[in-house]
Amino acid sequence: MDLNYHINKHRDAFDKGLKLLRNILIIVLVAFCLETFLFNINHFRSSGYETFSLDDQLEFTETKGESYRITAANHVFEVHDLNKEVRNIHIEFDQSQPAQTVPIQINFTDSAHQSYFYDTEFTAGIPLVDVATNNWQSQYIYLETTGYVDDLRIDFGDNETTYPLVLKSLTINAPEPFFFNPIRFAIVLGLLLLVYCFRPRSAIYRIFIVNDQRKAKAGIIGAMVVEIMLVSSFLLMGSNLVGVATSSYNSGSWDGKSPVTVFEVGGDNAQQYAELAKAMTRGELYLEEEPPEWLVQMDNPYDKSARDEFQKATGEEVLFDVAYYDGHYYVYFGVLPVLVFYLPFYLLTGANFPTAIGVLICCILFIMGCTALLHRFARYHFKRVSLGLFLLLQIPLVFCSGMLYLAKFPTFYSLPIIMALALVVWGLYFWMRGRTSERAGKWYLAGSLCMALVVACRPQFLVFSLLAFPLFWRKFITTRYITTPKGIREFACLIVPYIVVAAGIMLYNYARFGSFTNFGANYNLTLNDMTQRGTVFGRFFPALFAYFLQTPSTDGVFPWLLPAPFATTYIGQTVKEVTFGGIFLCLPVLWVLFFAKRLLSFRVQQRSTRTVAGVILIMIIAGFVVALLDAQMAGILQRYYADFSFLFLAAVVLLCFIANEAIDHPSRMYKVCQHGLMALVAISLLYSLLICFVPETGWLSEAYPWAYQNLVEMVVFWK
């Protein structure tokens, strides 16, 4: 009997493995067919075209061999009486010229238009087409004409184009070559596998965190590794902001000798952390650069308009976004990144630490900390969280928290924010470990140290420390454990790191500004006078709308998202950068919060403790508090979403865990909730990912527009 049992068990396992392999092969085949046929649709649609060359009608200023030079003075090609069907235009640029993206304006007359047509009040003309000189796919432009084309006009470039352009040939109705894009194939395959893994009947919903620990951990670690690889690839894609060069990466900045070369990116303003590290080696806390005398003599050096006038009159520039106090420049951003990254790196190498690498390290630590913290809650506070539900919630917790936008711009503005995020998730994890450990003191000490150190990165993140009340109130206060010798020692481990860190930060502040509590943000030389900013009630409403309730703006061009418009009735200065909508409308997974009252009531009825309920309530309240503090202290900026988004997302995760306990799994209601959650997560992830590819000042799309065009061509395959 035992033998038959084991035989049947192994046979079932073999059958399941065979079925899994078959399904994976089908998915690979589907991805292969999509890449071969759908994404190469232009190859098949153009394969029967009869090519017609226009080279003999090119009349640019200079012809050299078989190439044609397009100059700023002569950049328009026009042909009349063509009298042909025009399905596409192939503009073949010489590959040897410097890479750039050239805007092309095409006009034509056909059977429906006797003259060129343009934008009117009720119609749209032919849009500009971006063509990269080093991307052959973008050089095939498909037209939607009616009947025969008579006149054709092509205008090459605009005021920002670098001339001359070298053109090899110009043809119409050219067959487009077949191209199997391995990157696109891998992305599509990954998406299909993701959908397969999270389908409602997937086996990952039958693997439980508590009962199947080994399988669950393997799945969690595997997903975490993939997430780290994706974030690393995305951050390193923006090579203009990375500051690291090798023989094959940013090779133009490589010194040709060392395996890795570091170089400065982002301009003088971006080097202030590195300059502070150098100052510390000299025993100073202010930057070496001396402010101009006119700034020292100004009655109010924090008035930007007055500074601009002096700067224009004298020609002497001042640093921007640094603290100015008593004749010196200071860095008002949190000092911890300098102590952890810049100072040791400078002492070891004599070079400036590449900020983007610090952001990447902290992103990785954040992903790992989120995963560890979530696993801790799932294993010790809930009974039946499956691997499927865990990953379905862990993925948006990581990717919708604002971390991706910080990775998009891995600058010294992003570093203290992502470092604070990494510290709080690990701090909470260590606290949670301590709650179930016999030797709780060491975990409490590590957790409190992480939680306290956020003040040296991003002081707003101190609100996370309020979570200590629901986590420790019952243990130390309700049960009077704090009155025992062991309880006193453990409580000291919770408190002492805060005292030590606070003392260090207060001394640091006093040494710079003569005040224990002044971090220097109000001495910032920025767009407005921070010494006079204060707290104004009217600023709350624009911030609440922009951060939480504004709908996203869209258009029909990849990546389909636009910066959200901003208007306000607040009669005063509003500091506002580009944002892309409020999180309650753009991240629909947060709609779970609307069921918080009912779910918390269920949790309170089922458990004698109020730990999880208290954590959720404090997270929700703290999220609003941080957002409003940001608006008062600094303004409305997209990177500030990372200050509070995690709080709401973490509350959603815990509420979903509660709902998972409350609803009978085989029931219809459970299936409806499961499908609904999957849809909300998918939309939230799509929005968060698309933001990463919106063209913005200073990003890849501006620094290397031809590289961004390659990305566009990979996605917009039908154009």
Banded model confidence at residue 404, pLDDT cuts 50, 70, 90: very high
Under DSSP, the state recorded for 37 is: I
pLDDT (0 to 100) of residue 533:
80
Dihedral class, residue 120 (left if φ above 0, else alpha if ψ from -120 to 50, else beta): beta
pLDDT tens digits, one per residue of 426-475: 999 999 999 988 889 999 999 999 999 999 999 999 999 999 999 999 88
Q: CA 569, CA 539: separation in Å to the nearest integer?
A: 10
Instruction: Give the number of other CB atoms < 10 A from CB of residue 31.
Output: 20
Residue 5 has pLDDT above 60, yes or no: no
At 212, the amino acid letter reads D
| Mean pLDDT calculated for residue range 216-243 | 95
Percent of the chain having pLDDT more than 70?
A: 97
Phi, psi of 69 (to 5 degrees): -100, 125
Percent of the chain having pLDDT more than 90?
A: 76
Contact (CB, 8 A) for 466 and 431 = no
pLDDT (0 to 100) of residue 667:
82
Q: CA 447, CA 427: separation in Å to the nearest integer?
A: 4
| Stronger pLDDT, 646 or 719, i.e. the higher one | 646
Most confident range, picked from 66-75, 561-570, 577-586: 577-586
Residue 60 has pLDDT above 70, yes or no: no
Extract the tokens encoding 591: 């709609």
pLDDT tens digits, one per residue of 24-50: 999 999 999 999 999 999 999 999 999
Q: CA 105, CA 124: separation in Å to the nearest integer?
A: 14
Residue 61 has pLDDT above 60, yes or no: no
pTM: 0.94
* Residue 20: HSE in the Cβ half-sphere, 13 Å Cα cutoff: 10
Cα(first)–Cα(last) distance of the chain, in Å? 65
* Residue 362: alpha-carbon gap to chain centroid: 13
| Mean pLDDT calculated for residue range 215-237 | 96
Q: CA 349, CA 327: separation in Å to the nearest integer?
A: 30
Catalogue the long-range contacts made by 551-560 (C-beta closer than 8 Å, 24 or more residues apart). Answer: 551/581, 551/582, 551/585, 551/586, 552/580, 552/581, 552/585, 552/586, 552/687, 553/580, 553/581, 558/693, 558/712, 558/715, 558/716, 559/690, 559/691, 559/693, 559/694, 559/715, 560/690
Longest dimension (CA), the chain: 98
Among 43-47, 544-548, 659-663, the least confident range: 659-663
Dihedral class, residue 339 (left if φ above 0, else alpha if ψ from -120 to 50, else beta): alpha
| Mean pLDDT calculated for residue range 573-582 | 91
Can you tell me whether residue 45 is helix, strand or coil? helix
pLDDT (0 to 100) of residue 665:
79
Banded model confidence at residue 65, pLDDT cuts 50, 70, 90: low
Residue 605 has pLDDT above 90, yes or no: no
Residues in the chain: 719
| Mean pLDDT calculated for residue range 117-129 | 91
As to burial, measured by CB atoms within 10 angstroms (0-12 exposed, 13-18 middle, 19+ buried), residue 66 is: exposed
pLDDT (0 to 100) of residue 4:
64
pLDDT (0 to 100) of residue 395:
97
Q: CA 273, CA 714: separation in Å to the nearest integer?
A: 37
Over the Cα atoms of the chain, what is R_g? Answer: 30
pLDDT (0 to 100) of residue 344:
97
Residue 1 has pLDDT above 60, yes or no: no
Banded model confidence at residue 406, pLDDT cuts 50, 70, 90: very high
Domain spans of the chain?
2-40+181-194, 46-172, 198-237+355-715, 243-349
pLDDT (0 to 100) of residue 558:
93
pLDDT tens digits, one per residue of 511-533: 999 999 999 888 998 888 887 88
Any idea what the Cα angle at residue 676 is, between residues 672 and 677, rounded to 5°? 120
What integer best gives the mean pLDDT of the chain? 92
The topology (CATH level 3) of 46-172 is Jelly Rolls (2.60.120)
Phi, psi of 141 (to 5 degrees): -115, 120
Contact (CB, 8 A) for 600 and 616 = yes
Residue 258 has pLDDT above 90, yes or no: no
pLDDT (0 to 100) of residue 503:
97
**Alpha-carbon dihedral 231, 648, 547, 227, rounded to 10 degrees:** 10
pLDDT (0 to 100) of residue 63:
57
Q: CA 493, CA 445: separation in Å to the nearest integer?
A: 5
pLDDT (0 to 100) of residue 534:
78
At 324, the amino acid letter reads Y
Contact (CB, 8 A) for 287 and 276 = yes
Residue 62 has pLDDT above 60, yes or no: no
Residue 664 has pLDDT above 90, yes or no: no
Among 7-21, 195-209, 264-278, 540-554, the least confident range: 7-21
Q: CA 429, CA 443: separation in Å to the nearest integer?
A: 9
Extract the tokens encoding 527: 């767009």
Banded model confidence at residue 9, pLDDT cuts 50, 70, 90: low
pLDDT tens digits, one per residue of 289-322: 999 999 999 989 999 899 989 999 998 889 989 9
pLDDT (0 to 100) of residue 499:
97
Among 213-227, 259-273, 274-288, the least confident range: 259-273
* Strand 67-70 with 140-142, pairing: unpaired
Phi, psi of 244 (to 5 degrees): -130, 135
| Nearby residues of 578 by Cβ (< 8 Å), 6 or more positions away | 563, 638, 696
| Mean pLDDT calculated for residue range 657-668 | 87
pLDDT tens digits, one per residue of 371-391: 999 999 999 889 899 999 999
Instruction: Give the number of other CB atoms < 10 A from CB of residue 160.
Output: 10
Look-up of token digits 């749209």: 124
Contact (CB, 8 A) for 80 and 42 = no
| Nearby residues of 390 by Cβ (< 8 Å), 6 or more positions away | 209, 216, 220, 374, 375, 378
Task: State the DSSP H helix or E strand holding residue 701, giving kind and residue range, or none if neither.
Answer: helix 700-703
Contact (CB, 8 A) for 277 and 321 = no
* Strand 76-79 with 88-93, pairing: unpaired
* Strand 561-562 with 553-554, pairing: antiparallel
Q: CA 663, CA 646: separation in Å to the nearest integer?
A: 26
Can you tell me whether residue 185 is helix, strand or coil? helix
Q: CA 41, CA 646: separation in Å to the nearest integer?
A: 41
pLDDT (0 to 100) of residue 14:
67
pLDDT tens digits, one per residue of 622-637: 999 999 999 988 889 9
Contact (CB, 8 A) for 310 and 295 = yes
Contact (CB, 8 A) for 516 and 506 = yes
pLDDT tens digits, one per residue of 699-715: 999 999 999 999 999 99
Contact (CB, 8 A) for 63 and 183 = no
Instruction: Give the number of other CB atoms < 10 A from CB of residue 348.
Output: 9
Residue 67 has pLDDT above 90, yes or no: no
Q: CA 318, CA 307: separation in Å to the nearest integer?
A: 8
pLDDT (0 to 100) of residue 393:
97
Task: State the DSSP H helix or E strand holding residue 89, giving kind and residue range, or none if neither.
Answer: strand 88-93
Contact (CB, 8 A) for 172 and 54 = yes
Phi, psi of 157 (to 5 degrees): 85, 180
Phi, psi of 150 (to 5 degrees): -100, -60
pLDDT tens digits, one per residue of 357-370: 999 999 999 999 99
Task: State the DSSP H helix or E strand holding residue 543, giving kind and residue range, or none if neither.
Answer: helix 540-544
* Residue 423: alpha-carbon gap to chain centroid: 18
Could you please report the per-residue DSSP string of 273-314?
HHHHHHHHHTT-SS-SSPPPHHHHH-S-TT-HHHHHHHHHHH
| Mean pLDDT calculated for residue range 90-99 | 93
At 166, the amino acid letter reads V
CA distances from 208 to 17, 171, 215, 651 (A): 20, 61, 9, 21
